[in-house]
Amino acid sequence: MNRYEGRRALITGGGSGIGQATVLRILAEGGSVVAADVSERGLRDTREKAAGHADRLTTLVVDIADESSVRAAVATATATLGGLDVLVNAAGILRSSHTHLTALEEFTRVLQVNLVGTFLVIREAIPALLAGRDAAVVNFSSTSAAFAHPYMAAYAASKGGVQSMTHALAAEYAGRGIRFTAVQPGSISSGMTDGSGVSGQSQGPGLPADADMGLFAKLSPALGRGFAGPETVASVVAMLGSRDGRFITGTEIRIDGGTHF
Ligand SMILES: NC(=O)c1ccc[n+]([C@@H]2O[C@H](COP(=O)([O-])OP(=O)(O)OC[C@H]3O[C@@H](n4cnc5c(N)ncnc54)[C@H](O)[C@@H]3O)[C@@H](O)[C@H]2O)c1
């Protein structure tokens, strides 16, 4: 499948987990990609894994929580690609704690990266996307936006915000040629969930030592034998960002192997 031939994509969080898997998937489908991440180590790993497509991959360090960093990165990405058709906002962090013991800085940091950071990248990318072809933005919500995840109040709030923002943006730009969708992953193996990422930025779920696991309604996917690999989300993101998703906007797709049905 070469759905991305001639398509130009910017992917944040491209140095680990689902973002990295999406970089590899879109490259494999013929796209030109700028992979952006706060972790130079993660981006190096992405370059190594994408060695066969080096001519269509550029990597860029960005801190999506920082307005000036985002401005510079999106400008560089757009100039490198000669425009922009697809934006994938996969960068994010997870922090878990008892809410009554959560410092204000911890709470606002999660919102600043996951929600404000996603807004900043979108805002800076919109002018280029308006001039793009079949433009599409894929945001990262989470099953925590719809199903109770204890000890993750800030994370759940940030992902609920991303999901609602996706709907608002879809309405605002539907008539101007940009689609906005979100994925709701759950039970996906990555730096965030099991420390298998390489970026060095992820801390794993970090649940409190005395967490009551009985509070999680369901933890295991109905499909398969446990967590799935990040490529199971990347394939859905690739569909949403391609012309195959051209009649989909303002909604989200849950990819959790049936953990939450
Ligand atoms: N793995 C799951 O089960 C799951 C479930 C729900 C949602 N998600 C979402 O999927 C997305 C990808 O996460 P993942 O599971 O692959 O985790 P991951 O930790 O492997 O990847 C996240 C990437 O984001 C980068 N990042 C973090 N802060 C950044 C910043 N300020 N600026 C730029 N880059 C930054 C990290 O360096 C890392 O490379 C996240 O938005 C996450 O919230 C994952």
Query: Of the candidates 133, 99, 127, 83, which has an alpha carbon nearest to the alpha carbon of residue 243?
Result: 133
- Average pLDDT of span 182-189: 96
For residue 90, how far is its CA from the centre of ligand 1 (angstroms)? 6
Residue nearest to atom 42 of ligand 1 (CA): 92
Ligand 1 atom at minimum distance from 117 CA = 31
pLDDT(35) > 80? yes
Query: What pLDDT does 200 receive?
Result: 59
pLDDT of 219? 77
Q: Which atom of ligand 1 is nearest to the CA of 187?
A: 3
pLDDT higher than threshold 90 for residue 12: yes
Distance 111 CA to ligand 1 centre (A): 13
Q: Where are the domains of the chain?
A: 8-255
Q: pLDDT tens-digit profile of 217-239?
A: 777 899 988 899 999 999 999 99
> Would you state the structure tokens that stand for residue 9, as one six-digit string?
């994509």
Q: Is 93 in the pocket of ligand 1 (CB under 6 A)?
A: yes
Write out the catalytic residue numbers.
155
- CA 175 to centroid of ligand 1, rounded, Å: 30
* Fold type of domain 8-255: Rossmann fold (3.40.50)
Contacts of 90 (CB under 8 A, 6+ apart): 11, 12, 13, 14, 17, 18, 19, 22, 140, 237
pLDDT tens across 128-177, in order? Answer: 999 999 999 999 999 999 999 999 999 999 999 999 999 999 999 999 99
CA distance 241 to 223: 25
Q: pTM of the full predicted structure?
A: 0.97
For residue 218, the model assigns a pLDDT of 75
Q: Mean pLDDT of all residues in the chain?
A: 95
